[in-house]
A = this chain, B = another copy of it.
Amino acid sequence: MMTIGEAAGATGVSAKMIRYYESIGLLPKAGRTQGGYRTYGHTELHDLRFIRRARDLGFGIEEIRKLLDLWRDRERSNTEVKAIAQRHVEDLERKIADLTAMRRALSHLAACCAGDGRPDCPILEELGA
């Protein structure tokens, strides 16, 4: 059995976030020592690593909640899991497209700006047009 700090070190999820995930019901309430310290065992560490990986893939808390439920359900249907994943892929693609449009517009403007110390600046001209 580990303390919250050890579990944090072992999973890469900060102690702060572990308490937060518990507080919003993403994780079941952790066991406690006599002194009131939270305790973490194999199952709990697994959940934490699961959450960590899902966060790394950009899933939001509510999506992770569903994924954890599905993971715990032996009778689950992979159709639902795949749907969640595909929705998230589309979400990522939308965000990538937005950022890419910004980057393209802005790097074009930056390329047009001499950057030679004079006041003339196509970037500001465009913003102030």
Contacts and interface: CB of A to CB of B under 8 A. Distances in A.
Contacts of A105: 57
Contacts of A49: 128
A113 interface: yes
Interface residues of A, number: 52
A75 interface: yes
Interface in A86-129: 86, 88-89, 92-93, 95-96, 99-100, 102-103, 105-107, 109-110, 113-121, 123-124, 126-129
A96 B89 contact: no
A39 to B, nearest CB: 21
| Chain A interface SS verdict (over half) | helix
B106 A85 contact: yes
A74 interface: yes
A57 to B, nearest CB: 5
A55 to B, nearest CB: 10
B127 A78 contact: no
Contacts of A110: 82, 85-86, 89
Contact of A124 (B70, B88, B92, B120): B70
Given A53-B127, A99-B99, A110-B86, A115 B78 contact: yes
